[in-house]
Structure 1
Amino acid sequence: MALQVDLPEKDCLLQNYPLRSVLSAPGPSAPSSSLSSPGVIMSFASRPAGASRRLALAVIATSALMAVLDGSIVTVAMPSIQSHLGFSSAGLSWVVNSYQLAFGGLLLLAGRLGDLLGRKRVFLAGMALFVAASAVAGAATSPAMLVAARFGQGVGGAASSAVSLGILVTLFTEPRERAKALGVFAFTGAAGASIGQVLGGVLTDALSWHWIFMINIPIGLATLAAAVKAIPADRGAGLRSGVDVLGALLVTGGLMLAIYTVVGTATAGWTSARTLGLGTLSALLIAGFFGRQATAAAPLMPLRILRSRGVAGGNAVQLLMIAAMFAFQIVVALDMQKVLGYDATRTGLAMLPAAVAIGAVALGVSARLIARFGARTVLVAGLVLLIGALALLLRMPTHAHYVPDLLPTMVLIAGGGLAMPAAAGLGMSGAREQDAGVVSGLFNTTQQIGAAFGAAVLSTLAAGRTAHLLRAGHDPADALSSGYHVAFAIGVALLVAALLVAVFGLRGVGSGSDAPEAAGDADTAEAPRQTTSGLDLAPTA
């Protein structure tokens, strides 16, 4: 899931485009080696049959698709929502920001609750809340009602998203099966971005903006019914094992405040007193959270998980990659509409080849390549393709033609179908099963932070370049195109940084040679390591 930032037209050229549609990467996976450990606190009673597991995968993929659609579909309907409900220009941004504050701020806490209460229980509760809030949003008659409903959607989305991949990797314990399941997840994220842009325009024009929320009701109810049947019950550690209330307050407040600070840079600027003051406060809260985790008897996020190079490196790659892909999914779409004159529907259709390319690679070959060459090697290859895709955009002329100037990028962006499943597997390669929920929440949280960073930095610098050229008397189309090229260049730089982390920071991870430090605890440091098909697995508890 990625962040959407509303950027006023008068202040910035990047307006009303969803970052949750930016290569929404699959969440992390729990290591299969820990599933059979006698020390595991949480485990499924029995491993369901293949048909039931496939149904569970469909349920999880559908919930992810709904989340991605919910981000991209809303932006197309923003003008209709504003005119119908009487939103002010400033207030309209809260249709987006209220969701993102709840979603991004609660992922880590929701993941830990899944470990304590049971992932199925948290998933079902989150889906139910998301559907109920969607019904309220679709029936909204005032700005306050819609903003409150969007906040509720964010809470529900955080709960279901934070634990869904923990459920998936517990069901799919064989490495190649797991890689295929992660490929399905990568495909749903890529496809949902383009489908949402097309579907949002169709629903709004043919029916009304209310239906961009109402469509979640039948899909969500069907998903809930299937989830009750397909997802086996699991037993969490229980609240009696301890809940770090202070840690939860610190990290939730810090993350929400950080997101609120970043989305406000579009109007307040990076050096304003507001940005510096709130940014400092959010940093202090998050620092206090880490200090608390070092001393808490039952920490919300055990710091041992960060001693795994797979977890630390995978999250770093995820953050940089999602930040960089703002330059593709959003800036390319803006170029099509503001410079080339495409409407929303045509833009969505023009982006479909990228979704198809990512899906073909993620579903067709990623699992086999990870099994043969290892997750780290596949991640590196995927990042190289993504760098090439964005580098091609640097040569795109102002009045570009689709086939020679844009289609090659749409093809090379298939590298995301390699990088996303590989990064997800590596990001959880050092986690234990009883920590799968919180590490899943951590992985999704870094995705949110990366999206916020990418949106704020790329949009601000691109808008600054465009404004400078307009003041100098340049043609508006040329000024916009030049600003977009700045975003493309920054995207390339971020992907190069991600590549360096993958090459040097993840050396030995995913190939079976990294040290037993991944588990982090003295009582497990000497346990034998298990590696299968290139996925480095933590020692059993």
Structure 2
Amino acid sequence: MPALLLPLVCACQFMIILDAAIVNLALPSVERDLGFSATGLAWVVNGYLLTFAGLMLLGGRAADLFGQRRLTISGLAVFSAASLLAGLSSTATMLVAARAAQGVGAAMLAPATLAVVNTAFTEPAVRARAFAAWSASGGVGGMAGAIVGGALTTGLSWRWIFLINVPIGAALIAVAATSLPRSVPERRDRLDLAGAATGTAGLGALVYGVMYGSVLPIVAGVLLLGTFVLVEARFARSPMVPLRLFRTAGVAPGATMLLLFGGIATAMWYFTSLLLQNTFGCDALRAGLAQTPAAVTFVLVARWVAPRLPRAGRPLGCACFIAGFGWLSQAGGVAAVIGATLIVATGIGLTFPTLMALATARVPDADAGVAGGLATTFNQVGSAISLAVFATFTGYDRVFLAAAGIAVVIAAISLGSGRRSDRRQLVTDLA
């Protein structure tokens, strides 16, 4: 196995998460330079998120059909080219289009690299460490986004938050070309275009409707997703998401918990940032610095502690969520917020890698790409839905208490799925 394989997939995950986080501090400068309206500015963020979430399943299936190496390199090329276009944008429309193209590249790249982790690292302990490193790299990307975004915007220009991806992407393409094996997929099926159209449009409409609180897109999204399930179950010769995947041990409970976990992550990073700025008077830089200890804690726990606690990680993580969010709901100052977020970040580090592994580890290699896309899609959609729901609450304390309640539900699902797994193992042993 090439020595650069794990660093490669971790670097790709870092770049994807970095790009989602780095934009926030540059938005005021972007608004002034390109003449965005207040509502139009949101599309600099949402244009990326919508294409990323909506095309993830298609990217996962493409990785299975055309090969992980080919899709990783293609995703890096699309992402880098779109970053160059974003950095050179002269109009608001040009920047939004470039951000949407970045989302396309990320939707190709994320499931392909997750599939590499799932197929290249087959021994359980090694795979657990690989998932932990992959998860931790996303945490580093989120942490670096706030710091690097502020530094580049202040010291150079907002354009460099995008242009920095170009040399990084070029270097990663060179590494991918030399380290990823030239595997030939077993299947030569065509892409499921009907499934891709209904699934992508359904997810996009649902996420859009939830983001903007619009009923019609939500209804359309639900109907399209229902059509997608019908197409996959009855009509597709080579379904984009084979429904048999949900019969694979761990996929259904793992995906469900990742959907709920989106609410945990949103409450932790988004709403604690607002709490620090709107309630305790921090500016954007001080708020980012106040969240840095939690980000470091997440990285350390995900990388070094979670792999050593494969069975106890989720229950301990849920206990951290309940304690940390309970404290956050009563926080009276910045010091209390920092202390509480350290506890929550410990829970995230213990939980997230094990959930990703649970949702993908037992899937056949031929379906590894779509399994990775499915897991990531559930997590992204959960984040979007929870953001829209939490935004209707009248106080941050209610947001954090709701997040603690989500943790209880995750713990219950984890406990139930663990008991079912133990019963299946007992039946196997007796046979």
Q: Equivalent pairs: percent with the same residue?
A: 36
- For 1:240-291, what per-residue CA distance to the aligned partner results, in whole angstroms no more than 9, with x for missing partners? x2432211111011111111111111xxxxxxxxx22221111111111111
Distance 1:431 1:238, change over 3 A: closer
> Displacement, 1:405?
4.7
Q: Determine which of 281, 285, 301 is the counterpart of 1:345.
A: 285
> Displacement, 1:489?
1.2
Return the letter of the residue paired with 2:276.
M
Distance 1:128 1:405, change over 3 A: closer
Distance 1:411 1:277, change over 3 A: closer
Is 1:426 the counterpart of 2:358? The answer is yes
Alignment of 1:207-246 (within 5 A): 207-239=156-188, 241-246=189-194
Q: Determine which of 315, 323, 329 is the counterpart of 1:380.
A: 315
Q: Determine which of 262, 267, 290 is the counterpart of 2:210.
A: 262
| Equivalent-residue separation in structure 2 for 1:405 and 1:201 (angstroms) | 22
Alignment of 1:162-311 (within 5 A): 162-239=111-188, 241-265=189-213, 275-295=214-234, 296-311=236-251
Q: Determine which of 416, 419, 422 is the counterpart of 1:507.
A: 419
> Displacement, 1:112?
0.4
Match of 1:492 in 2: 404
CA contact (8 A) 1:357 1:414 kept: yes
| Equivalent-residue separation in structure 1 for 2:147 and 2:25 (angstroms) | 9
CA contact (8 A) 1:309 1:505 kept: no
| Equivalent-residue separation in structure 1 for 2:239 and 2:340 (angstroms) | 48
| Equivalent-residue separation in structure 1 for 2:280 and 2:146 (angstroms) | 17
Alignment of 1:327-342 (within 5 A): 327-342=267-282
Match of 1:92 in 2: 41
- For 1:396-426, what per-residue CA distance to the aligned partner results, in whole angstroms no more than 9, with x for missing partners? 12xx141x45324314521211111111111
> Displacement, 1:197?
0.9
Return the letter of the residue paired with 1:352.
T
> Displacement, 1:499?
1.2
> Displacement, 1:232?
1.3
Distance 1:307 1:515, change over 3 A: farther
Return the letter of the residue paired with 1:292.
V
Return the letter of the residue paired with 1:387.
I
> Displacement, 1:58?
0.9
> Displacement, 1:218?
1.4
Return the letter of the residue paired with 1:353.
P
> Displacement, 1:190?
1.8
Is 1:392 the counterpart of 2:332? The answer is no
Distance 1:252 1:208, change over 3 A: same
Alignment of 1:417-496 (within 5 A): 417-461=349-393, 465=394, 483-496=395-408
| Equivalent-residue separation in structure 1 for 2:352 and 2:398 (angstroms) | 25
- For 1:494-538, what per-residue CA distance to the aligned partner results, in whole angstroms no more than 9, with x for missing partners? 1111111111134343x584599xxxxxxxxxxx89xxxxxxxxx
Return the letter of the residue paired with 2:231.
R
Match of 1:134 in 2: 83
| Equivalent-residue separation in structure 1 for 2:268 and 2:278 (angstroms) | 15
Match of 1:159 in 2: 108
Structure 2: give runs of 5+ residues left out of the alignment.
none
Return the letter of the residue paired with 1:236.
P
TM-score by length of 1: 0.76
Aligned residue for 1:330, secondary structure, equals helix
Aligned residue for 1:435, secondary structure, equals helix
Q: Determine which of 16, 22, 27 is the counterpart of 1:73.
A: 22
| Equivalent-residue separation in structure 2 for 1:405 and 1:342 (angstroms) | 12
Aligned residue for 1:209, secondary structure, equals coil
Return the letter of the residue paired with 2:243.
L
CA contact (8 A) 1:119 1:163 kept: yes
| Equivalent-residue separation in structure 2 for 1:495 and 1:136 (angstroms) | 41
Distance 1:401 1:152, change over 3 A: closer
| Equivalent-residue separation in structure 1 for 2:219 and 2:426 (angstroms) | 36
Distance 1:243 1:71, change over 3 A: closer
Structure 1: give runs of 5+ residues left out of the alignment.
1-47, 266-274, 466-482, 517-527, 530-541
- For 1:468-490, what per-residue CA distance to the aligned partner results, in whole angstroms no more than 9, with x for missing partners? xxxxxxxxxxxxxxx11111111
Return the letter of the residue paired with 2:205.
L
Structure whose residues are more often helix by fraction: 2
- For 1:84-110, what per-residue CA distance to the aligned partner results, in whole angstroms no more than 9, with x for missing partners? 001111211111111112111100011
- For 1:13-43, what per-residue CA distance to the aligned partner results, in whole angstroms no more than 9, with x for missing partners? xxxxxxxxxxxxxxxxxxxxxxxxxxxxxxx
Structure number, greater radius of gyration? 1
| Equivalent-residue separation in structure 1 for 2:60 and 2:92 (angstroms) | 31
Return the letter of the residue paired with 1:347.
A
Return the letter of the residue paired with 1:80.
S
Aligned residue for 1:77, secondary structure, equals helix
Aligned residue for 2:55, secondary structure, equals helix
Return the letter of the residue paired with 1:381.
L
| Equivalent-residue separation in structure 1 for 2:80 and 2:402 (angstroms) | 38
CA contact (8 A) 1:324 1:490 kept: no
| Equivalent-residue separation in structure 2 for 1:405 and 1:290 (angstroms) | 43
Distance 1:243 1:408, change over 3 A: closer
CA contact (8 A) 1:191 1:352 kept: no
Return the letter of the residue paired with 1:441.
G
| Equivalent-residue separation in structure 1 for 2:352 and 2:129 (angstroms) | 12
Return the letter of the residue paired with 1:92.
L
Distance 1:335 1:110, change over 3 A: same
Aligned residue for 2:46, secondary structure, equals helix
TM-score by length of 2: 0.95
Distance 1:363 1:512, change over 3 A: farther
> Displacement, 1:428?
1.7
- For 1:301-342, what per-residue CA distance to the aligned partner results, in whole angstroms no more than 9, with x for missing partners? 111111235100001111111212211111111111222222
